[in-house]
Chain A
Amino acid sequence: MKKKLLAVTLALAMAFGMAACGGDPGKTGSGSADQGSAGNDAGGEDGADAGDMGEDADASASGTEASQPAAGDGEILIGCLQDITGSTSALGISVQTGAQDAVDEINASGGVNGKTLVMKTYDTKGDVTEAVNAYITAVTVDNVSIIVGPPVANIANAIKETSEDYDVPVMGLAMDPACQLKEDGTAYKNMFCFQPNANTQGDIMASFAVKNGLKTFGVLYNQENSYSVSLLNPFLDTLKDQGITVDESLIVAYGAADTDYKTLLQPIVSAGVDAIYCPNYTQQLVAICTAASELGFKGKIINGLDAAPPFNTTFGGDCSNIYYINNIDVNDEKTSEMVAKIEDKVSAVNKYFLGYDIVMVAKACIEKAGLEDADALRDTIANVKDFEGLTGKITMDPASHMPAGMGMFMYTYDNQTPVMLEEYAGN
């Protein structure tokens, strides 16, 4: 019996020991802030398409009443809805860190309208059900004023319907336009995206490739990942406009169950293409690039945001044949200064800046519109104009809730060092 007790005690000790080492990326600030003024009293648009969820809407209203005069009057609470665990946790934690640093910076220089910003993180675990739970916790229990959203399309897709029942803007990064737009083409009132959408990014990468003399292409994409899928057609469409058709047999899909990238790449490499378009997450990208080099592929590999550092260090080898798109300009003085400061603590640097910019935009909008009137706040966010962010000049398109004409940068590597090649304006 004693032995068994010892065993269990050991298990517990190990569990909590390791847990303690991990540090707690989540709770920041007091978290007790009950900033009820987020504007649950907007009225008007309520019941848009709520169906049987009337209950939830009611509940949120009563929740607001209860917490209206509560403590934390000098604070504004913002929620950060991210994958802190799960397969995309590296991205989520990077956005979170960026957002938190922006919060700290704002507080250090006097806060927003004299109030302190407090950020609380909600883990979505990369799971859509968890995401809805997290969202509802944030808007009804903690009454956050604004949510910094995830860089993952499926999560945004999952919460977009639920978000209609509330009045808390989700300032996210889901680049699939379907996350912001309903079937009828109007925007979900609370859903916003703060980076160029998939159409723009695919288009930029294709234009860049053609401009640089690449003529034949193969594609390897993850059909089980919405991000990867959403970048596929915009790229192919732009190529088609330029008179290049990619052979059907060279557009190869893969899924989580597939363990052999070499077999998948084989036909593409044998066809002797100039470049492989590879819109995938960093971790698969590393495996794919390794497989390509093992197959003796000598052409270029064109990637999305995920080939930005730390891809180079993770891959470990010579990355000179990699082209990738990025949100940030490392030649910009302020950006490079910040990159140097955070490189060690953040894995996905570009996601850090996206998180940082969102909080800065949120601050500007709250200062302008206040928190009393949800519609006014949403309008302000939808009409952000010429905001000088670190990821570029942000001007929102009020109809689509996505940035209009926001540019991106194309990069390559000189061995391991990122080299900025060209800035592209969005369309």
Chain B
Amino acid sequence: MSALVSNILTQVFITLIAVAGVYVLTGLTGMFSLGQAAFMAIGAYASGLLVVRLHMNFALAVVLSVLMAVAVGYLIGYPVVRLRRDYISLVTLGFGEAIGALLNRMTFLTGGASGLTGVPRRVGLPLACVSAVVAILLVAFFKTSKYGRQCIALRGDELAAKAMGINVIRVKMTAFLLSVALTAYSGALYVFYMSYVDPTGFGWKKSADWVIMVFFGGVNSLTGSTLGAFILSALPQMLRGLQNYRYVVYAVLVLLILNFKPSGLLGEWELTPGNLKKSIGRLTGGGRRKEER
């Protein structure tokens, strides 16, 4: 495999983990976070600093950084899960900006604007790939679990879900923390792959990009979200030849999907053995028209 392909794939897999987190948050629970990328920054900086400054073991540093991010997530999650949609976006947005400012300000610790250098390179394609697969399986498991079904229920109608006896706040918090953990983990992989991290690029636009990926592939389908993330994060690299038009092309493509296939590329279709068989059956025998959830 060429170095370029392996490099792009590694980055795509790292992104996939974060997007799996966003799927839990936005796809399953209907919450919009504009500060999700800040958790990636926390994961990256925390694990990087633990290794660079304290010479901690790589694996231990990653685990600790995820735990730290979850702790921060709990603090932010406390108000977030109690607020309604646009307030969630606002609080997470402010949180993301604050983290960015903090990383820039704490020069003695983080290196400030010059970034954190000297992080050893510990992550390659195999680890990124395995991590992404595990993360997606974890989310798939979560989706089909009791919690996942409760998430879907409260996304549809919070009041009704409450009436059914679902502890809305607890379910939302669980989903939020799961997504934070995944995002922070992806950040840790990022820094040990890039061996460098600076405070730019973790703003609300990055978080919004992830949301776009989820919608592009299908907000109701984990398979779709994964596919969307795969396509949209690899696309700008494929379009490198177009130079500065490539983001225009990207935007037009996403607009086309939103307009003409609002349920995303895959709609609600999930990749399960049953569905796969059905699809194959449909292709060969022109079977049933519509698959069930």
Contacts and interface: CB of A to CB of B under 8 A. Distances in A.
A and B touch in the complex (CB under 8 A): yes
Nearest to A18: B248
A85 B123 CA distance: 29
Nearest to B237: A133
B8 interface: yes
Contacts of B236: 130
A123 B246 CA distance: 11
B120 interface: yes
B7 A133 contact: yes
Interface string B87-131: 000000000010011001101000011110110111111010000
B272 interface: no
Main secondary structure of the interface of B (DSSP, over half): helix
B124 A52 contact: yes
A50 interface: yes
Contacts of B123: 52
Interface in B194-220: 194-201
B240 interface: yes
A55 B114 contact: no
Given A12-B252, A158-B196, A50 B121 contact: yes
Contacts of A126: 200
B114 A178 contact: yes
A273 interface: no
A15 interface: yes
B71 interface: no
A154 B121 contact: no
Contact of A157 (B105, B196, B259): B196
B11 A129 contact: yes
Contacts of A51: 120-122
B3 A228 contact: no
B244 A161 contact: no
Contacts of B255: 8, 11
Contacts, number: 154
Nearest to A127: B201
B194 A158 contact: yes
A122 to B, nearest CB: 7
Interface in B222-264: 236-237, 240-241, 243-245, 247-249, 251-252, 255-256, 259-260
B1 A59 contact: yes
Given A27-B241, A129-B194, A158-B196, A153 B3 contact: no
Contacts of B284: none
Contact of A226 (B4, B114, B127, B251): B114
Given A15-B248, A26-B243, A257-B101, A140 B114 contact: no
B113 A52 contact: no
A224 B3 contact: no
A70 to B, nearest CB: 15
Interface residues of A, number: 63
A22 interface: yes
A154 B243 contact: no
B47 to A, nearest CB: 15
B244 A183 contact: no
B196 A27 contact: no
B252 A53 contact: no
B18 to A, nearest CB: 13
A156 to B, nearest CB: 10
Nearest to B1: A59
A52 B117 contact: no
B244 A22 contact: yes
A55 B125 CA distance: 9
Nearest to B198: A154
Contact of B199 (A16, A25, A133, A224): A224
A140 B2 contact: yes
Closest 3 CB pairs of A and B: A26-B243, A59-B3, A51-B121
26 contacts: A15-B245, A15-B248, A26-B243, A59-B3, A59-B6, A84-B244, A121-B243, A127-B200, A127-B201, A128-B200, A133-B11, A157-B114, A157-B117, A157-B196, A158-B196, A161-B196, A162-B195, A176-B114, A183-B117, A222-B113, A223-B104, A223-B107, A224-B104, A226-B198, A229-B114, A257-B97
Interface of A: 4, 7-8, 11-12, 15-16, 18-19, 22, 24-27, 50-56, 59-60, 62-63, 84-85, 121-123, 126-130, 132-134, 136-137, 140-141, 153-154, 157-158, 160-162, 176, 178, 183, 222-226, 228-230, 253, 255, 257
